[in-house]
């Protein structure tokens, strides 16, 4: 994982990314506090769509304000 400013990037191998199926998944953001305890930040619903070239596109769903 790399962090730049407020953006964290987690790279997946091709084999790991192939495990995703079309549809919506939920990414969970978690971290560690100063004592090593896991803390939960948020969940992010993401739509996964495969193009004809089998590349994966991720798009975060819009928040409808509810």
Question: What pLDDT digit, counting tens, does each position of 18-48 carry?
Answer: 788 778 888 888 888 999 999 988 998 988 8
What's residue 55's pLDDT?
62
Q: Which residue has the tokens 């990037």?
A: 9
Return the closest-CA partner of residue 10 out of 35, 36, 30.
30
Residue 12 has pLDDT above 70, yes or no: yes
User: In whole angstroms, how large is the CA radius of gyration of the chain?
Assistant: 14
Residue 9 has pLDDT above 60, yes or no: yes
- Residues forming beta bridges with residue 59, ordered by sequence position: 47
CA–CA gap between residue 60 and residue 48 (Å, rounded):
9
Q: Supply the pTM of this predicted model.
A: 0.51
What's residue 57's pLDDT?
64
């Amino acid at each position: 994982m790399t962090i730049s400013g407020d953006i964290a990037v987690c790279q997946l191998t091709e084999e790991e990314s192939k495990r995703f199926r079309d549809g919506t998944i939920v990414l969970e953001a978690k971290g560690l506090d100063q004592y090593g305890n896991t803390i939960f930040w948020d969940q992010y619903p993401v739509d996964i769509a495969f193009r004809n070239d089998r590349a994966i596109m991720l798009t975060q769903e819009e928040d409808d304000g509810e």
